[in-house]
Chain A
Amino acid sequence: MAHESFLRHAHFRWLKIAVLLSVAVTAGFAATLMSANLRLHHTGSSWFGYISGTIGAGLIVWLALLGIRKRAMTDNAWSLKAWVSAHVYLGLSLIVIATLHSGLQFGWNIHTLAYALMMLVILSGIFGVTVYALIPPKLSDNRGETTQAQMLEKIHALDGRLLDVARPLDQDQAALVRRAVQHTRIGGNSWQRLTNSHGNCATRHALTELAAARSEMSDGPQAKALDQVLTLLEEKSATLGKARRHIRLRSLLEVWLFIHIPATLALIAALTAHIVSVFFFW
């Protein structure tokens, strides 16, 4: 079977279902609005409110179950791909359902907190879907056939060669090389990973310093050794660049989950508080 994205799964079946659901809820909202003379008051406690609220809460719970469902791969009408497709489109329809359920009545309260968390989950999800569509080609363009292990091995091998080749260098230059070998961090912290900014990279620092030293040096045995070190440092720098681009792309693929997952659990807690509080003091 040819590869088919979860977005296009079954000829956009779940997109159609989500649109139908949104249209139905919007119609219900419009009917409620008409019967209330276009004045919004306690939309949640109307017929429309209870129904849209039940649909919304049910959807949220079901959508969250993807976290459990994803651990079991199956291949049928309820395949994981179908499930993810439904997850994305029904998740998007929640924007319509929950917004109309709220009647746009917001305030500093648990109800708006639940809404805000839900929107945070959905927006991070939209980011996730977007990077899943855009990043993988870039990832493979950057990586080529090189595997992650290969990148690490290559850097390690270059480090070994650098220590070999740097032996004839004087003390200061050898220290720069040793620092480049021992203190170069491939990934770094989360910000460095996401932005690919490595201003204080020890390898690049050594490369700049040694290249400057070489330009002031006449040819000789030491210059020859330095040339070899520079070649290896350049190669290491290029390899690091590739690895770091790889890390940045991977981080972009992963980062939204750090919002999506915790916000989902927070949402379920806030949703529980929202529902209980509404009926507790009703």
Chain B
Amino acid sequence: MSFILRQISKRVGAPDIVREKPLAAAEPVIGRGSDCDIQLTDLAVSLRHAVLKQAGPGRVIVEALGAENFEANGKFVTSANLAVADSPVLNFGSHVLTLSPGDNGAVLVLATARENSAAVFTAMDQKRAFSLKYALFSQRRTAWITGVFILLACLLFPIGVFVVDHDQHRMISGVAHRQWSSGPLSPGHHFLEKNCTACHQQAFVSVTDTACLSCHQAGLNQQATAHLASMTRGLGSPFPPDPAADHAPHDRLMAAAPPDPNLARRINSWVAATFSHPNNRCASCHTEHVGNGRAAGATPAPVTADEIKRNDCKDCHTGMTQRLTGTKLLDVPDWGRHPDFRPVITAGFVGDRPKLERIALSAVPKEKDGLIFGHDVHLSAAGGVAREAAELGNARGYGAALTCANCHHAAPDGGFAPVDMPRDCGVCHSLVFARKNGADQLLPHGHPDKVVAALRAFYAAGPQFSSGPDTFLGRPGLRGAIRPVAAVDHVAASVRAAFEPGGTCTTCHTFMKPGAALNYVIAPVRLTSRYLPWGDFNHNVPEHHLDANGAPNCDTCHKAKSSAHTQDVMLPGIAQCGTCHGKTKAQNPMAAGSDCAECHGFHNSGLAASSRRRELAQSALIRTQ
């Protein structure tokens, strides 16, 4: 049994072409491939789709060669056993194969193609059908649109605003530049969040010290300070700027600093400086745009840990005397080799102006402050002062021998309020010179002229001494029996009683003899309020003024009980500090730190970094330069 192929090609407007040939192969292959015995030109047909096999007399088996099935008698199958006598119909794509018995027991395969299958699917059709590209957006267009949008919105817009608008319209600038901010500003600078150009004044140049100092300049006069305060208020700051004194003039600071021993950091500094980003600026230490910005208030820009490390005090203050010509500062290689205290004392007067000198404690400095005073007499447990204090009694805040606190009142800044003569001395050293209408009349404490003026005013009113409550005491400061006295020139007598040797005021003050009349001249007085203005010491720290039992122990540091004259500078040596500072807990239960920052700040060495006593920084500090 063999197969005969009769292929019919249909043509439009012409007779069909019929070709007939016997197939040589015993098992002819049906497919699109040119090697197939029955070639069907249709893409829906596989290259080698199926094979025809004879299966006994009058029967043919059709088997799919690949995964693709075929249609046999209306069913889609991969294998079919067919009786040729039934004229089975096979469908392969648009081709129809009909089997029928032929001559000499052969099988006639009639192949026709259906007309309506002329469609040709191009590569484009396939892409449209199978690729996501035609169902989704265009990659290229989307890429360009988003890229150009980001460039415009995030780069050109902010640059344009900077060039054109500068800081005229803070809202626009804020919107334009905020997207460039790498993080929130410190709470103290929060009000500048939308005002980038306040600090970033030039493109591609790092924030300069000039920008910082435009608000934080220290040492300004009152008018300039007020102007700055109003300017920062105008910028939206809820508080006036904190003046930041320079540790030293910038060039001196640079001269004092030794070369960085770390080579990488040195290269870093050089590179940074070359690219307009030097690391000796305010902003090098006070980094902004970091943190979460949740804190509130006037917290200053934080100083990074590595900057503190880089700016270790001892790096500069070791061997600085060799590097920094003409410095008066002594080297401080470490806490153990901190030089002796050199208090600033009143060394005398030039006219009325005090002459200040800085003298080491080891040189036993002597003050010439213009006052006659002995601490020993006042603190003696047995003398007349003690008896008088006992007389005054508890009700007036005395009752026993005087203590330091009777005259020296602690101030919240860690120091002491200035001694106020009428309050702190006047209870004993009375300034009462008369009583009028039942009220004590006090001499004003201060300038001699004011004393004279007060006495003149009193007597001008014509007081009656002979009767009634208006009474002259004879001499100010004299307590005891009141006796009426008749005097010719009450004013002159009273002034002399105050200023002449043995007079009321001469207990503590020295007077020059007047040329004429009553214009006495008092020797100037200056009581030192702060001996160590470059170091910070807080008397209010409990360990600094109380002993283990909680009792005041001023005399641990200040040997007042044995000081007969105010010329004694009753300061302890630094060794006294060293009994606690720099010790371990094992050595001293009250051990404390020995960092430079315990007593010194960077911008203001007299204000410890740990101290929050800003008032002290604002107050006029004595500098001997």
Contact = CB atoms under 8 A, between A and B. Distances in A.
B98 interface: no
B619 interface: no
B182 A42 contact: yes
A129 interface: no
B625 interface: no
A191 B454 CA distance: 102
A105 interface: yes
Size band of the interface chain A makes with B: 35 or more
Interface residues of B, number: 74
Given A144-B66, A262-B146, A280 B180 contact: yes
A75 interface: no
Interface stretch (A17-25, A33-41, A54-62): A33-41
Nearest to B153: A273
Contacts of A190: 132, 135-136
Interface string A170-182: 0000000000000
Interface stretch (A81-89, A92-100, A198-206, A247-255): A247-255
Contact of B181 (A107, A147, A194, A268): A107
A193 B46 CA distance: 26
B233 interface: no
A281 B155 contact: no
Contacts of A269: 146-151, 154-155
Contacts of B290: 41-42, 105
B249 to A, nearest CB: 26
B251 interface: no
B143 A261 contact: yes
Contact of A148 (B129, B137, B139): B129
Interface stretch (B71-79, B590-598, B601-609): B71-79
A149 B46 contact: no
Nearest to A268: B147
Interface in A237-282: 238, 243, 246-247, 250-251, 254-255, 257-258, 261-266, 268-270, 272-273, 276-282
B268 interface: yes
A18 to B, nearest CB: 25
A258 B125 contact: no
B46 A254 contact: no
Contacts, number: 202
A262 B306 contact: no
Interface string A110-153: 11010000000000000000000000000000001111111011
B277 A254 contact: no
Contact of A281 (B43, B129, B180): B180
Contact of B304 (A36, A110, A111): A36
Nearest to A261: B139
A112 to B, nearest CB: 9
A127 B147 CA distance: 22
A188 B129 CA distance: 8
B413 interface: no
A251 B133 CA distance: 9
Interface string B122-142: 000110111111011101101
Nearest to B180: A277
Given A47-B264, A189-B135, A111 B147 contact: no
Contacts of B268: 47
Contacts of B423: none
A154 interface: yes
Nearest to A112: B182
Contacts of A228: 74
B125 A109 contact: no
A209 interface: no
Interface in A153-190: 153-154, 156-157, 160-161, 163-164, 186-190
A68 to B, nearest CB: 13
B379 interface: no
A251 B289 CA distance: 44
B54 interface: no
Nearest to B133: A254
A235 B75 CA distance: 9
Contacts of A270: 150, 154
Interface stretch (B21-29, B199-207, B361-369): B199-207
A213 B69 CA distance: 27
B140 A261 contact: yes
A272 B151 contact: yes
B158 A277 contact: yes
Contacts of B91: 161
B147 A266 contact: yes
A154 B93 contact: yes
Contacts of B116: 160, 163-164
A37 B74 contact: no
B566 interface: no
A50 to B, nearest CB: 8
Contact of A254 (B131, B154, B180, B181): B131
Contacts of B155: 269, 272-273, 276-277
Given A265-B144, A277-B158, A152 B74 contact: no
A109 B94 CA distance: 62
Contact of B46 (A111, A146, A262): A146
A96 to B, nearest CB: 21
B44 interface: yes
B536 interface: no
B321 interface: no
A145 B68 contact: yes
Contact of B121 (A113, A156, A234, A279): A156
Nearest to A235: B76
Contacts of A47: 264, 268
Given A145-B46, A156-B44, A156-B119, 16 more contacts: A39-B306, A47-B264, A109-B180, A113-B150, A144-B67, A156-B117, A157-B94, A160-B94, A161-B114, A243-B129, A251-B132, A251-B135, A254-B133, A265-B143, A272-B155, A279-B204
Q: Which 3 pairs from chain A and chain B are nearest by CB?
A: A153-B44, A144-B67, A265-B143
